[in-house]
């Protein structure tokens, strides 16, 4: 387990910040880059995304930090950025799973009924 992972954030305000951060395709691209190679510097992220200015990358990283999706650790003069998947999992648990569960349950029940009909034929 990574030592830099941040714990739970306040639910309502935290959810809003995470949804806002994930709504932008550029920020999702930065998260994808950190997923591939965690602990990157701003310079490394700029090199991966040459279409963005350094200021743009830093601005997007600040939003990701505010949402606790990125954790920063200083190593001398370099700031390393690490992906924190906890807020995304919390969103999934709180929103996606909650709404998907009834649909999944209905599909499982339908499958069981169809299989029992096939078996009794």
- In the chain, the percentage of residues whose pLDDT exceeds 90 is 60
pLDDT in tens, 62-99: 999 999 999 999 999 999 999 999 999 988 888 877 77
pLDDT at residue 8 tops 60? no
pLDDT at 3: 43
What's the pLDDT band for 31 if we cut at 50, 70, 90?
A: very high
Q: Indicate the pTM of the whole model.
A: 0.72
42: nearest Cα among 26, 28, 60, 25: 60
What's the CATH code, domain 11-120?
Answer: 1.10.10.10
**Tokens encoding 79:** 């700031």
pLDDT at 11: 65
């Amino acid at each position: 387990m990574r030592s830099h992972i941040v714990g739970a954030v306040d639910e309502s305000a935290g959810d809003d910040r995470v949804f806002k951060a994930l709504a932008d395709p550029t920020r999702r691209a930065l998260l994808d880059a950190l997923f591939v190679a965690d602990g990157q510097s701003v310079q490394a992220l700029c090199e991966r995304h040459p279409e963005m200015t350094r200021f743009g990358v830093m601005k997007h990283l600040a939003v990701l930090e505010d949402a606790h999706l990125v954790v920063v650790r200083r190593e001398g003069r370099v700031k390393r950025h690490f992906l924190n998947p906890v807020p995304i999992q919390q969103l999934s648990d709180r929103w996606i799973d909650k709404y998907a569960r009834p649909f999944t349950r209905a599909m499982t029940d339908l499958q069981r009924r169809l299989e029992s009909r096939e078996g009794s034929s």
